[in-house]
């Protein structure tokens, strides 16, 4: 793709704007770790929520969705659409509790909920494990996707693209160390506007390149007919629900996605009950109401508003480039061959924005684990805030260097990603219930993590179950979840409860409802609103709202107006129920 001096000028202006934001927040970020990692806990909901959305919009996300659509149709997106229920659970059951906890990271939660050496072990291990290997592998995948993009867009060799990505990492790291979370949040908002605008533009360009929506639908019908005749696929590429006899989504796999995966599996950005950078944004919100609204806005934008521009480009790529071996490249092919020349600089800036928003969050979030939950907790407690700010900046640089190194060798350690994630498979139940059942202790979490890791590895290495095969993945999930749950329940009842003073302090601090009877009797002065039924109504309404908006928008775009309007109507009614319920019960759900 040929770029003019005007294109490069647009890209340069984008980077200058990021630098200006970094210097604007420099002094504020250097005041304390509370400012550096949490922006003084004074962030409005719209900024915190938009930052979550921007973080999950990485440079590789449009490519991944294009590949899903080209290979398996619109329904291919159920591999991530199934997490809607988990996201809504976080909004209405956990967002306010996380904000009320007052911790700096979700890892710190271990030592306000549990006590003694097991709690310290849990905190220290998770801080290093998630802050370095897991975080750097995530960064490595994002970096590698950017390498692919630069190769296609600029026509450079892989080594040259890698060097350019290293430069982008260094630039993003500099901004992150300079401005802390305030810089990350504000640049995320700016970057989100840029990249959403450009993916919408590219969707329009892609549909027009095919000949308009009518022509696209007609040509996709021909694709369906050809695939059906060859036996390579069943159902339509435009179906929203997968054919449950298909090889890529058999019935058992779809049922596991809908009933188990969304609550049982730990996955970055979709942790059961919230965690990672999502929890960080809850902590930095002004109050409980802003924490809830931020997480709600994130889920609406993530699932209902953002996918369709990507999906439309994916559908167009099937028609325009039917013989691509790497279906994900269809997104880049549309961009290179059909985007007007005067928009190329903006699109390149949009990809840089998508890349940098994810990188900046991962660097800041990972450094918070290493400094707050390991360095300050175990190596140098009681230091000055200024010292910890400098340590945070050094931790950011360390993660930058390691992640850049991981990218160079990514092809040789690709299998490690599945292995690292397996430690979180099946731990969801204990992560969810630890807020609402006093009897859970630190050994419960340790047992769940160990059992999940051992069982998952055992099934894949001894019984040779393949996590890449959808049907076998379902079996791995079911067996791992069952074994993990039995193990952590046994560990819970075989070990002592946490001390009364720890449980009472947590109860006073967080004020959770339900499952705390013995502890509540020790703190009769704490007033609790038992809002489980209200939260359940909001959760169900939230799922209806998201899916109604997602599928309603899609139906209207694909010219199925009547079902589309009905689905959007259901989404609006569900949204009104949520507003009525929260206004009636109060946003904080606590009696002061």
DSSP 207-252: HHHHTSHHHHHHHHHHHHHHHHHHTS--S-TT-SS--TBSSSSBHH
The DSSP annotation for 245-283 comes to BSSSSBHHHHHHIIIIIHHHB--TT--TT--HHHHHHHH
Residue with tokens 């549990």: 114
- Supply angle C-alpha 304, 310, 408, rounded to 5: 115
C-alpha to C-alpha distance for 170 and 167, rounded to whole angstroms: 5
pLDDT at position 444 is 96
Neighbours of 522 (CB within 10 A): 14
The model's pTM is 0.90
Lookup: tokens for 373:
């939950």
Residue with tokens 């230091």: 383
Contact residues for 150 (Cβ-Cβ < 8 A; gap 6+): 156, 161, 164, 165
pLDDT digit string (tens) for 500-523? 999 999 999 999 988 999 999 999
pLDDT at position 420 is 55
pLDDT at position 299 is 95
b/e code 543-582 from CB counts within 10 Å (16+ = b): bbbbbbbbbbbbbbbbebeeebeebbebbeebbebbeebb
pLDDT at position 481 is 92
pLDDT at position 307 is 94
pLDDT digit string (tens) for 81-134? 999 999 999 999 999 999 999 998 999 999 999 999 999 999 999 999 888 888
Neighbours of 379 (CB within 10 A): 10
Tell me the average pLDDT of the chain: 88
Domain boundaries, the chain: 5-70+99-228+286-414
- pLDDT at 226 exceeding the cut of 80: yes
C-alpha to C-alpha distance for 198 and 184, rounded to whole angstroms: 21
C-alpha to C-alpha distance for 443 and 489, rounded to whole angstroms: 10
pLDDT at position 230 is 64
pLDDT at position 50 is 95
pLDDT digit string (tens) for 131-162? 888 888 888 878 888 887 888 778 888 788 88
> 5-70+99-228+286-414 has which CATH code?
1.20.1730.10
Contact 184, 51 (CB under 8 A): yes
Contact 297, 97 (CB under 8 A): no
Bridge partner residues of 250 (DSSP) = 245
- pLDDT at 566 exceeding the cut of 80: yes
C-alpha to C-alpha distance for 135 and 467, rounded to whole angstroms: 21
pLDDT digit string (tens) for 106-117? 999 999 999 999
What are the Cα distances from residue 131, in Å, to 91, 190, 192, 375, 551?
24, 26, 25, 12, 36
pLDDT at position 212 is 95
Give the best-scoring range by mean pLDDT among 40-44, 181-185, 487-491. Answer: 487-491
pLDDT at position 87 is 94
Residue with tokens 């606590």: 590
Contact residues for 411 (Cβ-Cβ < 8 A; gap 6+): none
b/e code 386-405 from CB counts within 10 Å (16+ = b): eebbebbbebbbbbbebbbe
Measured in degrees and rounded to the nearest 5, phi and psi for residue 497 equal -65, 165
pLDDT digit string (tens) for 388-441? 888 988 998 888 888 878 777 765 444 454 555 555 677 899 999 999 999 999
Element (H, E) at 543: helix 532-557
pLDDT digit string (tens) for 442-466? 999 999 989 998 998 889 889 888 8
Measured in degrees and rounded to the nearest 5, phi and psi for residue 43 equal -100, 130
HSE-up of residue 420 (Cα within 13 Å, Cβ side): 18
C-alpha to C-alpha distance for 221 and 177, rounded to whole angstroms: 51
Contact 71, 237 (CB under 8 A): no
Report, as an integer, the average pLDDT of 331-357: 85
Q: How far apart are the first and last CA of the chain?
A: 61
- pLDDT at 381 exceeding the cut of 50: yes
- pLDDT at 592 exceeding the cut of 50: no
Contact residues for 473 (Cβ-Cβ < 8 A; gap 6+): 253, 256, 466, 467
């Amino acid at each position: 793709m040929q770029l003019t001096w005007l294109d490069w000028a647009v890209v340069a202006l984008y980077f200058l704007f990021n630098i200006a934001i970094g210097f604007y927040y420099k002094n504020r970020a250097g005041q304390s770790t509370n400012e550096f990692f949490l922006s003084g806990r004074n962030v409005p909901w719209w900024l915190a929520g938009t930052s979550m959305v921007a973080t999950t919009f990485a440079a590789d996300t449009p490519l991944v969705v294009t590949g899903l659509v080209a290979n398996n149709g619109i329904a291919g997106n159920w591999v991530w659409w199934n997490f809607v229920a988990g996201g809504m659970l976080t909004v209405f059951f956990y967002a306010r509790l996380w904000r009320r906890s007052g911790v700096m990271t979700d890892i710190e939660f271990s030592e306000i909920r549990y006590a003694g050496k097991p709690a310290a072990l849990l905190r220290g291990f998770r801080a290093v494990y998630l802050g370095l290997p897991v975080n750097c592998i995530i960064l490595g995948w994002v970096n590698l996707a950017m390498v692919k993009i630069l190769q296609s867009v600029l026509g450079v060799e892989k080594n040259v693209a890698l060097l350019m990505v290293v430069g982008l990492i260094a630039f993003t790291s500099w901004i992150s160390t300079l401005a802390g979370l305030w810089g990350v949040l504000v640049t995320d908002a700016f970057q989100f506007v840029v990249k959403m605008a450009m993916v919408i533009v590219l969707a329009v360009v892609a549909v027009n390149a095919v000949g308009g929506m009518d022509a696209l639908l007609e040509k996709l019908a021909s694709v369906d007919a050809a695939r059906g005749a060859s036996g390579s696929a069943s159902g339509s590429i435009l179906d929203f629900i997968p054919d449950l006899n298909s090889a890529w989504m058999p019935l058992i796999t779809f049922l596991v996605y809908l009933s188990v995966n969304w609550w049982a599996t730990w996955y970055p950005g979709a942790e059961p009950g919230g965690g990672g950078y999502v929890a960080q944004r809850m902590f930095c919100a002004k109050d409980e109401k802003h924490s809830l609204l931020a997480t709600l806005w994130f889920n609406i934008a993530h699932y209902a508003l953002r996918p369709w521009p990507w999906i439309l480009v994916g559908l167009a790529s099937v028609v325009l480039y039917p013989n691509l071996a790497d279906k994900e490249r269809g997104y880049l092919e549309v961009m290179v061959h059909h985007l007007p020349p005067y928009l190329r600089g903006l699109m390149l800036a949009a990809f840089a924005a998508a890349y940098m928003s994810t990188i900046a969050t991962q660097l800041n979030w990972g450094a918070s684990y290493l400094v707050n939950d390991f360095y300050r907790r175990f190596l140098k407690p009681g230091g000055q805030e200024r010292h910890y700010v400098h340590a945070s900046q050094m931790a950011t640089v360390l993660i930058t260097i390691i992640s850049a190194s991981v990218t160079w060798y990514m092809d040789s350690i690709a299998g490690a990603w599945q292995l690292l994630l397996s430690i979180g498979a099946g731990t969801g139940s204990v992560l969810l219930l630890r807020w609402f059942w006093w009897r859970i202790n630190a050994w419960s979490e340790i047992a769940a993590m160990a059992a999940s890791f051992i069982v998952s590895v055992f099934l894949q290495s001894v019984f040779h179950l393949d996590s890449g095969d959808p049907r076998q993945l379902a079996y791995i999930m079911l067996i791992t979840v069952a074994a993990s749950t039995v193990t952590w329940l046994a560990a819970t009842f075989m070990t002592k409860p946490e001390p009364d003073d720890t449980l009472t302090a947590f109860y006073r601090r967080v004020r959770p409802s339900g499952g705390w009877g013995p502890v509540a009797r020790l703190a009769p002065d704490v007033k609790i609103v038992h809002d489980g039924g209200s939260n359940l109504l909001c959760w169900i309404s939230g799922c209806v709202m998201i899916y109604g908006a997602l599928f309603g928008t899609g139906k209207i775009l694909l010219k199925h107006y009547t079902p589309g309007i009905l689905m959007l109507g259901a989404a609006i009614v569900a949204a009104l129920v949520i507003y009525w319920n929260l206004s009636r019960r109060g946003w904080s759900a606590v009696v002061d």
